[in-house]
Structure 1
Amino acid sequence: MSQLAGLLAASLLFGVFARRSGRFPEQTALVLNAYVLNVALPALVLRAIHRLTLVPELLIAAATPWLVFGGSWLFFRALGPRLGFAPRTVAALVLTGGLSNTSFVGLPLIEGLMGRDGVQVAVVIDQLGSFLALATVATLFATHAAAKDSRPRVLLWKVLGFPPFIALVVAFLSHPWDWPGWVDVVLGRLGDLLTPLALFSVGFQLRLSGLRGRVRALALGLGYKLVLCPLVIALLLLALPGISRLTFEVTVLQAGMAPMVTAAILAAEHELDPDLSALMVGLGIPLSFATVPCALWLLR
């Protein structure tokens, strides 16, 4: 747990210090975002989905990230305009509020709180839920929200050409065959760069001055992500019979994880209020180290 916190904090703070040092060009975040979305994330998706072992009874748990994203779309599109939020601010909230950091924050947290048995459930939620939602509906939403040309054919082409989506298709098609060991190692090394580089980029874009005028949006976004999501998912799962206690607890905790770092990168890449997106991640991750254990305590 301490190693995880150290890596996340160091990557974020180094990004903040790098911008203030003046030693990095203003385009640094744009370059890192392009690398994360076009190299590191496809490598991670390709490796994770190819290695996935599907457990049928966990399909309900894997469906919850899709519900969280769908709920985010309904919640922020309903409240955002009424609160006077700009369309791009609403889109940023949908992305960062609707995608959970079920991998780099979620997996270590689940292991630390619930042990290795909990990780088996968490991995399925992450790979069949968060990864797939990011590469499909979230990408389509971001493309539509930022596109000047919103014709369905144009939007579909942009999603089909999105490298993580291509990696997703290749991973499923190649699932029946084993890869050489060196391929797995290379993909793993490339994918390992995602978290530090993505958080460095978020830190580089993080400006506390961006809080001015965004406090309400930030409070609404983090309130939805860290409080409302786990509460609603818990109530939904309680209404379903046959779910084990372990699966129930892990699924609720994964729903309440901090915003996904890649969601903020995706929002920034499409110019959807990058300042708010960076704040959602920069504040959401440390807050989740308190809210997730509290949620587990309440569940028990």
Structure 2
Amino acid sequence: MHLVDTVFPILAVVVTGWLAGVTGYVPRALGASLTRFAYYVAMPALVFLTIGDETLRKLLDWRFLVAFGGGSLICFGVVMTIARLERGATLGTSTMLGAATSMTNTAFVALPVLKALYGKPGVLAAAVATVFIGALMFPLLVILLEINRVTTSGKIQLKPLVRQIVGNPVILATAFGLAWSVSGLGMPKPMESFFTTLGDALTPCALFAIGLELTLGELRDKLSYYSLLTIVKLVITPLVTYLLSIAIGLNHELAVAAVVCAAVPTAKSAYILAVEYETEKTMVGAVISMSTLLSMITLLAWLSII
């Protein structure tokens, strides 16, 4: 009952946003502004506050990174390899297939869920997972997509890669938070209240925006194909993460955090890449919509199991 009481309000906000969008009560165009505020203001504030108030020792648990990061990379590699060898897909297409099944929305979904479950330790785990996605997975995808584009452009363009890394608000907030933590200055009360006020806006803004922008039209074509990719994202990827957590002896709280981070929907950043490189936009959009919709069931199932 406690689990349902904790998770239900989070999922209910997504449903409320979706209902507001389909009924026209709130314009869908508002979702972009809410997402931008959540991503560039509220989330960095919460990440900075959490990391800046912790010791460096607590931030770097290699076993959590092995469980979550390993699960994501394994599934990405397997899906990409199968697409290349069995389906004869191009490097760009196979890269986006791997991204759709491994790039996870840790910032907008996992972070609010883990904050509700564990408070600051949950936020910290989601922040570390988000940095892994932003600092390793995202650049990896950009490099592969740039290599795929080399046949038309004649050279690999590293400028988008550098821009995405340097300008990522979560990475910047994490870097500043680490610096503040190492400085030992502590968090003054007025400063803590300021960042807390901004950070508290993350959950309602991000989840409502996800629901508001959720569309089901992409799911009509190739439903079985999109369903298979969604199952890999919501079932296989968290399963691999869970098995890795057990294998390396990760403590229960961090194991739950790793599985939650792996079990949330596909990240919107995957769609941004698909649009940027004009590769599998329809497929990625459909998997994001389907995984967002079905994760309301599968996430609760995973939490109940573990």
| Short-chain TM bin | 0.7 to 0.9
Name the counterpart of 1:133: 132
Would the aligned equivalents of 2:51 and 2:59 in 1 still touch at CA under 8 Å? no
Name the counterpart of 2:203: 195
- The alignment-based identity, stated in percent, is 20
CA displacement at 1:161 relative to structure 2: 1.6
Gap runs ≥5 in structure 2: 276-280
Structure 1 residues 9-158: aligned runs within 5 Å:
9-53=11-55, 54-55=57-58, 58-80=61-83, 82=86, 86=93, 88=96, 90-96=98-104, 102-106=110-114, 108-109=116-117, 125-128=125-128, 130-141=129-140, 151-158=157-164
What is the rounded CA distance, in whole Å, between the counterparts of 1:50 and 1:154 in structure 2? Answer: 29
Gap runs ≥5 in structure 1: none
TM-score normalized with structure 2 length: 0.74
What is the rounded CA distance, in whole Å, between the counterparts of 2:190 and 2:87 in structure 1? Answer: 52
Q: What secondary structure, in the 3-state scheme, does the structure 1 residue paired with 2:211 have?
A: helix
Matched, 1:265 2:268: yes
Matched, 1:163 2:163: no
Partner AA of 2:31 in structure 1: A
Partner AA of 1:70 in structure 2: L
Partner AA of 2:69 in structure 1: W
What is the rounded CA distance, in whole Å, between the counterparts of 1:216 and 1:127 in structure 2? Answer: 33
Q: CA RMSD in A?
A: 3.6
Per-residue CA distance 1:167-224 (angstroms, 9 max, x = gap) = 1211111112223212222222222222222222221222233322354454444433
Name the counterpart of 2:278: none
Would the aligned equivalents of 1:14 and 1:203 in 2 still touch at CA under 8 Å? yes
Would the aligned equivalents of 1:45 and 1:168 in 2 still touch at CA under 8 Å? yes
Q: 1:7 to 1:235 in 2, by over 3 A?
A: closer
Q: What secondary structure, in the 3-state scheme, does the structure 1 residue paired with 2:111 have?
A: coil
Residue 287 (structure 1) aligned to one of 291, 295, 298? 298
CA displacement at 1:284 relative to structure 2: 1.1
Partner AA of 1:191 in structure 2: G
Q: What secondary structure, in the 3-state scheme, does the structure 1 residue paired with 2:186 have?
A: coil
TM-score normalized with structure 1 length: 0.75
Q: 1:44 to 1:293 in 2, by over 3 A?
A: same
Residue correspondences, number? 280
CA displacement at 1:74 relative to structure 2: 0.8
CA displacement at 1:289 relative to structure 2: 0.7
Would the aligned equivalents of 1:264 and 1:277 in 2 still touch at CA under 8 Å? yes
Per-residue CA distance 1:77-109 (angstroms, 9 max, x = gap) = 223454688564543333138999543224545
CA displacement at 1:153 relative to structure 2: 3.9
